Amino acid sequence: MKSRETLIRLRKFDVDEKRQKVASIEAMIDDFKAMADDLDRQVLSEQQRAGIDDVNHYAYPPFAKAAVQRRDNLMISISDLDVKLDAANDELQEAMKALKNIEILEERDMARNQMKQSRDEQAILDEFSQNMSRLVIR
């Protein structure tokens, strides 16, 4: 019984750890998306300032080219993080399933012990009742 309680605590810790990992990856994705959006605005602003929006034009602003490259790199990173997020979510689901299975076993054992205790108590009461009826009859 004690070892199962320890196992439940361990599984809960594992689930919490996996949740934190998922949350961390989601936060990174959100941050990268915000940075990419900011770079898009900067590129648009620079293109409007220069009056050139053709990336291949010889006078296209170098800052805009660099910002586009950084944005593209962020988008690649977001794609990589999406794959990691899917894997982390799968790990979280597995950890939650393992925890649930152990909790179900624990609940079943507790119910079984409770039934046994109720039967034992009832047996004691029945025996007491029989003894009392014997005393009254005599």
| Mean pLDDT in consecutive groups of 10 residues from the start of the chain, 138 residues | 83 96 98 97 92 86 93 97 98 96 90 90 84 71
Report how far residue 91's alpha carbon sits from residue 18's, in angstroms, rounded to the nearest whole number.
7
Provide the pLDDT for residue 9.
92
Q: State the Cα angle at 63 between 61 and 68, rounded to 5°.
A: 100
- 3-state class of 54 per DSSP? coil
CA distance to 39, 67, 69, 77, per residue, from 63 (Å): 10, 6, 10, 21
Provide the pLDDT for residue 96.
96
Contact at 8 Å (CB) between 65 and 39?
Answer: no
Provide the pLDDT for residue 53.
84
Provide the pLDDT for residue 1.
54
**DSSP H/E element including 132:** helix 62-137
Provide the pLDDT for residue 5.
86
Burial 81-93 (b: 16+ CB within 10 A, else e): beeebeebeebbe
